[in-house]
Structure 1
Amino acid sequence: MSDVLRIEGLFTDIAQYHILEGVDLAVPRGQVTMLLGRNGVGKTTTLKTVMGHWAAKAGSIRYDGQDITAWPTPARARAGIGFVPEDMGIFTDLTVEENMVLAAASGPPDAARLERVFAAFPPLKTFWKSEAGTLSGGQKQMLSIARAMAEERVLYLIDEPTKGLAPAIVSTMAGALRELKGQGASILLVEQNFAVAKALGDHAAVMDDGRIVWTGAMAELAADAGLQERLMGLSMEAE
């Protein structure tokens, strides 16, 4: 299986702080790779560096066989990388429909794509003409992911999509991500809900202090409470 994304020796500084300290990470094509670790170890910075929001100080980012380390963010998006930030990144004063139209650089989403979005997130069809700011927190998160689905993407970078959501909404979110994977997408997913990580992940990479300290099958990590404790100071079995 080929890797859709390969990061080697990635260093990223933010102001005077050294955040990424030589990250090596591979994301297999058509799979869900979980990026795990305690808060503040560099997971979000990794996603933002891949997307070009932060510039890499050193190292390389290869996407779909191309070195994109120096590409601007719009070029990465046009090449098929979708980013769902933790802060959702929606326009609250625009309608759900307007948010979706703006998210698709190639033009308004076609009917077939919209039907897939509505099947994954039925409330968005109900509130299609409503301002995004009037949606609940869970519905806003649905819209955030739907915006990344507005046109076909090869790779999705998704930052904590279930954070702060009620269990029923978490289940809906997990189902939508599973559907994305079923459509052949590759996903690099930062997630603190370990039940979701266990259910969705094919592979896992654990970060600590700006580096990847373990990689392997998600099932292997999920089955080994001692490994979880050693890597992250917690046990999934307690979640």
Structure 2
Amino acid sequence: MSDPILKLEGVYTDIAQYHILQGVDLEVPRGGVTMLLGRNGVGKTTTLRTVMGHWRAKTGKVLLDGQDITTLPTPQIARAGVGFVPENMGIFSDLTVEENMILAAVSGPIDPARLEWVFSAFPPLKTFWKGHAGNLSGGQKQMLSIARAMVEERRLYLIDEPTKGLAPAIISTMARALRELKEQGASILLVEQNFSVAKALGDSCVVMDDGRVVWSGEMAELATDAGLQERLMGLSMEAHQ
């Protein structure tokens, strides 16, 4: 088994007076999708933001391909090949779709072939290419948010609840695009509350509770064990589709 693309070792992260991450040990295998699951408020978003440098680990290490990135500034982490899709989308509403995509291409001009693939995954972005991002629908804004991370090949993609609040048809579009990204050999750490999406996309899985990792293994193992789901998350996936 190859070395993990991402590794967290004993990571503690505080936000103001709150102790959010309390000794997170986590590995993301190279290639495929690792689901980061758990109830609301257990530290999943904080984990992604700590990796991205938005919030600083108080102690512990964050390793990308074996390199310690714990204290690097966010722009340097992005230039190292980490793409981030935040839960709040993070798009620039006053800029056009085109301008949003250009800003996201940290390595240089957008590759035309890559852009055509993005358009094939999210056709509305081509339709509204010259329009302001703020005029897009909620689902289209989420498409743009994910497309900004996909516009160039990254070493690692961190994606926070991409299907939250979206209509079923848009969720299917999102899942299909992420599956295509996975088929390209991408390494993805994905927070997702839609268990149907988690089961369909996930290869490995990490479950968090109370700021710690409480279980890790194959997504298929968790998906087929209702008792394990109940024990780890207090609900079964089948009851929470």
Q: Which residue of 1 aligns with 2:113?
A: 112
TM-superposition CA deviations, 1:102-146 (whole Å, max 9, x none): 111233312111011001111111111111111111110000000
Q: Which residue of 1 aligns with 2:76?
A: 75
After TM superposition, list the pairs within 5 Å mapping 1:5-154 onto structure 2.
5-154=6-155
Q: Which residue of 1 aligns with 2:192?
A: 191
Question: Aligned partner of 2:88: which letter?
Answer: D
Q: 1:160 Cα shift?
A: 0.1
Question: Aligned partner of 1:176: which letter?
Answer: A
Taking the aligned partners of 1:195 and 1:169, their CA distance within structure 2 comes to 14
TM-superposition CA deviations, 1:141-187 (whole Å, max 9, x none): 00000011122201000000000000010010001111111112100
Taking the aligned partners of 1:195 and 1:84, their CA distance within structure 2 comes to 20
Q: 1:2 Cα shift?
A: 2.3
Taking the aligned partners of 1:21 and 1:65, their CA distance within structure 2 comes to 22
Taking the aligned partners of 1:34 and 1:105, their CA distance within structure 2 comes to 26
Q: Does 1:165 align with 2:166?
A: yes
Q: Secondary structure at the match of 1:3?
A: coil
Q: 1:65 Cα shift?
A: 1.6
Taking the aligned partners of 1:136 and 1:235, their CA distance within structure 2 comes to 32
Q: Which residue of 2 aligns with 1:211?
A: 212
Taking the aligned partners of 2:201 and 2:124, their CA distance within structure 1 comes to 23
Contact between 1:23 and 1:210, CA under 8 Å: does it hold in 2?
A: yes
Taking the aligned partners of 2:109 and 2:145, their CA distance within structure 1 comes to 16
Percent of residue pairs bearing the same amino acid type? 80
Question: Aligned partner of 1:146: which letter?
Answer: A
Taking the aligned partners of 1:71 and 1:107, their CA distance within structure 2 comes to 21
Contact between 1:100 and 1:108, CA under 8 Å: does it hold in 2?
A: no
Question: Aligned partner of 1:171: which letter?
Answer: S
How many pairs align? 239
TM, length-normalised to structure 2: 0.98
Taking the aligned partners of 1:219 and 1:133, their CA distance within structure 2 comes to 39
Identify unmatched segments of 5+ residues in structure 1: none
Taking the aligned partners of 1:11 and 1:17, their CA distance within structure 2 comes to 11
Q: Does 1:174 align with 2:175?
A: yes
TM-superposition CA deviations, 1:184-234 (whole Å, max 9, x none): 210000000000000000011100000000001000000011110111011
Contact between 2:79 and 2:107, CA under 8 Å: does it hold in 1?
A: no
Q: Which runs of 4+ in 1 moved over 3 A?
A: none
Root-mean-square deviation (CA, aligned residues, Å) is: 0.8
Contact between 1:12 and 1:21, CA under 8 Å: does it hold in 2?
A: yes
